Amino acid sequence: MEKTDDQLITEYLGGEETAFALLVTRHLKRVYNFAYRLSDNAEDAEDIAQETFLKAWRNLKKYQHGRSFKAWLFRIAHNTAIDLLRKKKEYMLSSFENEEGENPLLDNLMDPEPLPDQLVARAEDKKLVDSLLDKLSPLYREVLLLRYNDHFTFEEIGEALGKSIHTVKSQHRRALIILHKLLVESSY
């Protein structure tokens, strides 16, 4: 039977050196993929992933047992990616968003077209979907990636990104609206 993340952390903190290596092996691919999708650069993604696990290792004693290690780890990855992107001045937010991340323009749009997730389900071309996701701001892209690629719940996404569940749901909805518009535009 495979050990849980909490069990591996307890073992590592108890002196079992290989337990942390198992945690890294278990989560490295997801953290790297998440970092790559945020940075759109393989070298930056490697740096983000490496720094994420280094920070996790340094702060493992601060991890609260019983909470989602995956969400805790992705919060570190998110913060590390944001720091790197800010340093590179590539992190852009919509000019219509306020300080809370709300976009009144998008909140008031009504569209009779099929729902964005229905359009995505119909899209057979993965390259098209990937290229459309790359057009989203990192703020929205990371919510969609955590939700659909990493199968996080809204609660886990909120914990990973340090946001309330309402903010996460709102950003998820806005991201789907934008993605829907991009899909409709690309079909013409």
Report how many helices (DSSP H) and strands (DSSP E) the chain contains, helices first: 10, 0
- State pLDDT tens for residues 53-112: 999 999 988 888 888 899 999 999 988 988 887 777 544 444 555 666 665 544 554 454
* CA angle (103, 105, 109) in 5-degree steps: 120
Domain 5-88 is of which CATH architecture?
Orthogonal Bundle (1.10)
For the purposes of burial, counting CB atoms within 10 Å of the CB of 100, is it exposed (0-12), middle (13-18) or buried (19 or more)?
A: exposed
Domain map (residue ranges) of the chain: 5-88, 104-186
* pTM summary value: 0.60
- Domain 104-186 fold: Arc Repressor Mutant, subunit A (1.10.10)
